[in-house]
Amino acid sequence: MSDVTPMVKAEQVYKSFGALEVLKGIDLEVARGEVMCLIGASGSGKSTFLRLINHLEKLDAGRLSVDGELVGYREQSNKLYELKDKEICSQRAQIGMVFQRFNLFPHLSVRDNITIGPVKVKGQSVANARDRAAALLERVGLSEKIDAFPSQLSGGQQQRVAIARALAMDPKLMLFDEPTSALDPELVGEVLDVMRKLADEGMTMVVVTHEMGFAREVGDSLVFMDDGQIMEKGNPREILANPQNERLRSFLSKVL
C-alpha cells in the first residue's frame, strides 16, 4: 500500500454487547509510523476498539481497515461478508497485540513462547525462529532469560517477553491494551522503555494507557474516549496542558 494509506482507518464503527452500546460511531485514522494513545475511564470503549482492529470482536456497523484492507470482512456488491477463519488468522498474524495480562504459555520456556507463532503460523524453520527469538530477547533486555519459564519472571519481564513474542511475527502494527496496568509501579518503566524504542524505530502503535507521561513524551496523537465516543483528539502535549472538553478535564484531574 502507498505511504498515504492510513495504517488504521475506522469509519462509523459501532459495537454493542447485548443492550449495552459500547462504541457509538467511531471515526479515526492512524498514519504509518504514528503512535496513537487512547485514554479514558474504564468502560469508555477503548479496549473494545482495540480488539475490533484485529477482529477479536466483530463490529456491528461501519468498517475498519488495516493497511487499506478491510479487517475480518470482504466487500461484495456493497455488502460485507465475514472472512473464513484461515483468512482472519492470516490478517491477525500481521497485527501484534500485547494484553494487560501477559498471556504467555506457562508450560513453555521464554524461547518457545516466542518461536511457536512463527513456526506454526508462518512456517518458519525452528532454527530461524530460534535465532530471531534470541535477537528479540536481546532487544528487550532479556537475553539471560531465554530458557526460563514465565513463573520464574517478574511481571515486567513477562510483559517484555510478550512484546518480543508479538514482534516475532513481524507485524506492521502493534496494539497495546493497558500493557502496564497489571504491573507493580517499579516495573512499569522497563516496559515503557521497550515501547519507546519501538516508537523510535518507526513502529505504528495504538496504545490504550493510563500512563500520561508516556502519552505526552512518546505519543504523536492522543484520543480521549468517553461513553463510546471520541470526545477530543490531537497533539498529546497540547491536549494534556489545555484540555477543551469538560469530561476530559474531570478525567485528567483524577489521573494527573
pLDDT digits (tens, 9 = 90+) for 111-155: 999 999 999 888 999 999 999 999 999 999 999 999 999 999 999
Within the chain, what is the greatest distance between any pair of CA atoms? Answer: 55
Nearest of 98, 107, 97 to residue 151 by alpha carbon: 107
Residue 185 has pLDDT above 90, yes or no: no
Whether 1 shows a pLDDT value over 60: the answer reads: no
Q: What is the pLDDT at residue 89?
A: 85
- Report DSSP state, residue 16: E
What grid cell was written down for 96?
501484534
Answer yes or no: are the C-beta atoms of 191 and 160 closer than 8 Å: yes
Tens digit of pLDDT for each residue in 153-183? Answer: 999 999 999 999 999 999 999 999 999 988 8
Q: What is the pTM of this model?
A: 0.93
Q: What pLDDT is attached to residue 193?
A: 92
What does the domain layout of the chain look like in residue ranges?
A: 104-170
Q: Please tell me what DSSP assigns to residue 106.
A: T
Angle between helices 110-120 and 155-167 (to 10 degrees): 20
